[in-house]
Amino acid sequence: MPDPVVTNWFGDLVSHPKVVVEAESVDDIVVVLRNPNRYPSPVRAIGSNHSTAPCGAADGGTVIKMSKMNRIVEITGDTVTAQAGALYIDVAQELEKHNLQFYVNVEIGSLSVGSAACAGTKDASMPGEFGQVGSYIDRIKMVLPSGELFEVTAQQPELMQMVRSSYGAFGVVYEATFRVRPIIPLAVHHESFTIEDFAAKLPELKARGESMMFYIFPFENLITVEFRRYNPTAGGDPDRHIWPLRNYLWASAGPLFCSQVAHDIQVPDVRDRVLDGFNAVWRFKLENLIRSENTVATDQIIRYPLVAGPSRYTFSLFAFPEETYAAVLPQYCGFSRQYYKATGYRINMLCVGYRIAKDQNSLLSYSWDGDVMTIDPVSTANPGWNAFLDAYNQFCIEHRGIPLLNQTLGITRVQAQAALGARLAAFAAARRTYDPHDRLLNQYFRDLLAEAGSAAGRF
């Protein structure tokens, strides 16, 4: 029999494990880890497998699918505990029944609890809050490579800091506890600027004290900013149509249209005009329809299909120090236009971005050193996408960009170590103490961490 084939959700990353196990209990995970002859290394656990980098690949090894371990264990007045295979959107909707919400309401509702506990995420930080889901996790239960059960809590801050960014390389997470909060009405509106005007006004925009997400249009030299803020005095019933409309345009209609345009229109000038026209419609709808003084934060979360369809899309990410963003963003737009002129390739969607607060709750946090803003190209992977990402990665590294190891495709060892430095080395050294026989180490992390541990030091 041929080896099983496992792909990420988008379908562009393919893994060939020897064995695939669907875990239904923690005992199933223990059996896998204690029997290397039957379940070969590397062992990697996956949820819905939305990562855009091969962190879940297990060529020649064992994949543990966690989706059947999806029970919500407990909800209290300020926490929720769930098994690792539970989807973020399912937990969020159950919390809403208790008048509670997550602090970070990420777009990708297919995020599993296990991934949230030990991998990177992104969302624009609300005022006074973090933008990474893991920063609100206070307890993680996992199975160590030896098969022993292990629990980490917020009372072990240095270890928790490591585990929140362990990417399953310390152990297989099977349960996690999040801090949550009462539901608060959420106001949202959008404004568009030229890139130069945005850069000039960035200090005053930050001074508003609102969350900022960006829709960036490099070829039109425009940016639309999504401003969000809590609005506890909002009266009446919340607008429940605002975010579903945004989500439909963003996650269904938009990628499907852009994919068809890239496939069906072969004349570059015509194709570009059609894409630019769609972007103009997108900006109009954001500015005029996606606005309200009273929405529910949970409605931002999108339920993606279990199997990607024709509206699927993919993305990558780099974060930049906030103090350099006004200079980097115009340079990125110029880079994109120059790359198109030289190669004939442009992404067929747009770029997004997020303003994310300084956050040292995770060792490999991309906002460890201070507030950051990101530039995230989005595409349906039209031909030339991977080559573009190679050039984009190099541009970002040259401009002090920080990657996210599960969402930055094509990052090299040199680039990762240049960006994360001593923190990556400290992570590599700590990983070896929990997994000395490399039971959980796949080729992706083996490459990124090679020789890094020998350089461990202060960070």
Q: Give residue 457's pLDDT.
A: 55
Closest CA to 42 of 456, 438, 452: 438
Going by pLDDT thresholds of 50, 70 and 90, the confidence category of residue 175 is very high
Q: Strand runs (DSSP E) across 311-451, as ranges? A: 314-315, 318-321, 351-356, 372-379, 402-403
* pLDDT higher than 70, residue 408: yes
Counting residues of the chain whose pLDDT is more than 70, the rounded percentage is 98
Three-state DSSP class for 349? coil
Going by pLDDT thresholds of 50, 70 and 90, the confidence category of residue 349 is very high
- Express each pLDDT in 353-368 by its tens digit: 999 999 999 999 999 9
Structure tokens given for 38: 């039957």
Mean per-residue pLDDT, 393-397: 98
pTM (two decimals): 0.96
Please list the residue range(s) of the chain that carry CATH number 3.30.43.10. 6-65
- Express each pLDDT in 126-145 by its tens digit: 999 999 999 999 999 999 99
Structure tokens given for 283: 């900006």
Mean per-residue pLDDT, 152-163: 96
- Express each pLDDT in 213-262 by its tens digit: 999 999 999 999 999 999 999 989 999 999 999 999 999 999 999 999 99
Going by pLDDT thresholds of 50, 70 and 90, the confidence category of residue 118 is very high
**6-65 in CATH: which number?**
3.30.43.10
Task: List Cβ neighbours of 449 (8 Å cut-off, separation of 6 or more).
Answer: 424, 427, 428, 431, 441
For domain 72-182, give the fold: 3.30.465
Please list the residue range(s) of the chain that carry CATH number 3.40.462. 186-403
For domain 186-403, give the fold: Vanillyl-alcohol Oxidase; Chain A, domain 3 (3.40.462)
* pLDDT higher than 60, residue 455: no
Q: Give residue 459's pLDDT.
A: 61
Q: DSSP string covering 135-194, please?
A: GGEEEEEEE-TTS-EEEEETTSHHHHHHHTT-TTSS-EEEEEEEEEEE---EEEEEEEEE
Looking at every residue in the chain, the average pLDDT score rounds to 96
Going by pLDDT thresholds of 50, 70 and 90, the confidence category of residue 3 is confident
Structure tokens given for 229: 């803020």
User: For the chain, how many residues are written?
Assistant: 459
Closest CA to 438 of 118, 41, 148, 35: 41
* pLDDT higher than 80, residue 341: yes
Q: Give residue 451's pLDDT.
A: 76
Going by pLDDT thresholds of 50, 70 and 90, the confidence category of residue 453 is low
Please tell me what DSSP assigns to residue 87: B
Please list the residue range(s) of the chain that carry CATH number 3.30.465.10. 72-182
* pLDDT higher than 70, residue 63: yes
* pLDDT higher than 70, residue 458: no
Q: Give residue 2's pLDDT.
A: 74
Mean per-residue pLDDT, 14-31: 98
* Cα–Cα dist 160/154, whole Å: 6
Closest CA to 8 of 143, 86, 107, 110: 110
According to DSSP, the residues that pair with 320 across neighbouring strands are 373
- Express each pLDDT in 290-301 by its tens digit: 999 999 999 999
Contact by Cβ (8 Å): 384, 345: yes
Three-state DSSP class for 64? strand
